[in-house]
Structures are given as C-alpha cells and as structure tokens.
Amino acid sequence: MQGTDDARSVSVATARAGLGGWLQGLSVRSKFLIILLATSLLSMGLVALVSYSVGRDALLRQQLDRLQAISASKTKRLEDYFGNMRDTMRVLGANPLVAQNIIAFSSAYNALGDKAISPEQSAALRAYYATNFIPKVTTNESSSLFVESYLP
C-alpha cells in the first residue's frame, strides 16, 4: 500500500507543479493581480471583437446605401432621358411637315433602289461625310469612325 500512496502523492505533486505549480509560490495579492489582468485582457479582447464587428457592419451598410443612391440617381437620369426623347418624338410626330418629309424621304430612297451613283456624286458624298458628318458624330462617340463604313 505504501507504494501506491507514494505514487499517488507523486502524481498529485506533479499535477500541481505542471498545472498550477507556478501559482503556488506567489502571494494572494499576486494571484489576485494575475486573475484581474487576465479578466481585463479577456474583456478588452471581447470589446475589440465587438467593435470590429459593429464597425465592419456600419461600413458595409454605408457602402450599400451609397451604391443604392447611385443606382437610384442613374435610374432617374435614364427615366428622364427616355421621357424627354418620348416627348420630343410626340412633338415631332404631331408636326405635319415632319410626316411629309419622312414620306418624301422614304419614296426617294425606294426610288433610288440599286442605282449606281456617278464618280462626282461619290466624291461629293465622301467629302460631306469626311468634313461634316464624321466630325459631328465623333464628338458624341469615343471610338474613331471611318468614312468607308457610311458610304453606300
């Protein structure tokens, strides 16, 4: 029995020395300060974690609100643009002169058919596209345009 009691006391002493043996040599005041420090560090860690989470959520919410505001602004601009275009088309469509010109243009285009144009007409058309049409279109277009793509 003596051997088992010795083994048991050695194992208890080893457990105390390994797990909490470093606390045994300290005074009650030091132990209290260590526990207080540990709880303070733990609470600071928890506060930091909660602050990070709340801050991240606030930033995400702010960015989402900003993107929604941009989306609403662009939607409003598009609606205004198409509403303006619709109103312009209504005004132009109600004008009898515009209707007559559309009919005249369609008749002239259909009468032209597949007829070839003379070299003088082709040169005049090329000069018109190069000097008048292409510069006006490129002010609204970011890509470069070529006269050949518009010639018949």
The distance of Cα 86 from the centroid of its chain, to the nearest Å, equals 30
pLDDT digits (tens, 9 = 90+) for 120-143: 988 888 888 888 887 777 776 666
pTM higher than the cut 0.85: no
- DSSP E strands in 82-151: the ranges are none
- Greater confidence (112 vs 4) lies with 112
